[in-house]
Structure 1
């Protein structure tokens, strides 16, 4: 894994601190780093949030189990991202979903007391924290709304519309494998292929191994 201090300096929120400050907080224990292996659980649903997590390295997932026990990936977090920023000072600081490591990862834990001290002493840190939490709380809320309590077709439609807006084209080049897409919407690959075939038969789209083309009826669903 990469050098710890380089990882700390690369995280946008931590870049508002001097190197000496980061070093001191590591020494006094108010900054603490934990390592997680692939598929390790970082936080369980129902767990109390008592600290801020910053992803230094790896990939972290927020996952939801639907009524049939299938795991749906709600959001992914990467190096530099902040996890639990919207929970740590909540009146009900409970993780609503399970958080897992998709790959070997390192996470910096910041105690709530140290956070409060930093907000008071470092205006740039506070501004960076508030901007990140505001932006990502809205995004995460939208994703939870899109991916829970909805049919597979509705989840696929939400994802494909997102890619349509992102790529500005009806012919979408998939940024992931079909297996990864199936994991994202919480089904087996065979179920995804079956639903795509049904949507093609319904005249909604065309697809091959690498692309999906959205047809006019798709936008009237």
Structure 2
């Protein structure tokens, strides 16, 4: 895999030329890592020592409660950057475990190199600060949802979001119902029960991963 070409397609690094990225790669401080599906990438409590860029595949930030229920707080896809909020913090330990959802390739940039990039390119520094600010905003929204939203509200909001992304009221779930339950922070059985209730109430119909909503996004 060409690290320079892959990084060049990520928004945060588009302010650098291929020649500049190649020079940084040659100087060290940048490593390509590969992870297999279900491989543990980082344990909760591990120190964050790098800025990670997802080049291929997906990772997720997970927590597991005493009943063994998995909650996926965030799913990281190709092009996403992780570690920006931790790398320069006094509290730089992972708050959750990081698990590989699909076979993934990750470019890891050491702290020293990230500092160099910040000093050499103002656009990179601004982009990194924007990522940190966006993460703080998303965390606030996540906490609010966990405190206020029911399973039904969370599920319908997610389905309406899919409708907007896929351009219609009939959508295909991009993940299994088990994975969706984990992402929403509810038990798989509770999610299945809610799907069935919504179908009985005429709000949607479903067959496997195919879901057809019978209510508008404003309902």
Query: Which TM-score applies when normalising by structure 2?
Result: 0.80
Q: Distance between the aligned counterparts of 1:143 and 1:172, measured in 2?
A: 26
Q: Report the equivalent of 1:157.
A: 153
Q: Distance between the aligned counterparts of 1:21 and 1:207, measured in 2?
A: 52
Q: Report the equivalent of 1:57.
A: 56
Distance 1:68 1:156, change over 3 A: farther
Q: Report the equivalent of 1:173.
A: 171
3-state SS of paired residue (1:104) = strand
Q: Report the equivalent of 1:33.
A: 32
Q: Give the stretch that moved more between structures: 167-176 or 13-22.
A: 167-176
Q: CA RMSD in A?
A: 3.0
The total of aligned residue pairs comes to 213
**Any unmatched runs of 5+ in structure 2?**
none
**Any unmatched runs of 5+ in structure 1?**
none
3-state SS of paired residue (1:22) = helix
Q: Distance between the aligned counterparts of 1:55 and 1:160, measured in 2?
A: 29
Q: Kindly state the Cα deviation for residue 11 of structure 1 after the two structures are TM-superposed.
A: 1.4
User: 1:58, 1:78 within 8 Å by CA — same for their partners in 2?
Assistant: yes
Distance 1:72 1:113, change over 3 A: same
Q: Kindly state the Cα deviation for residue 182 of structure 1 after the two structures are TM-superposed.
A: 2.9
Distance 1:48 1:77, change over 3 A: same
Q: Kindly state the Cα deviation for residue 69 of structure 1 after the two structures are TM-superposed.
A: 1.5
Distance 1:125 1:215, change over 3 A: closer
Distance 1:195 1:166, change over 3 A: closer
Query: Which TM-score applies when normalising by structure 1?
Result: 0.80
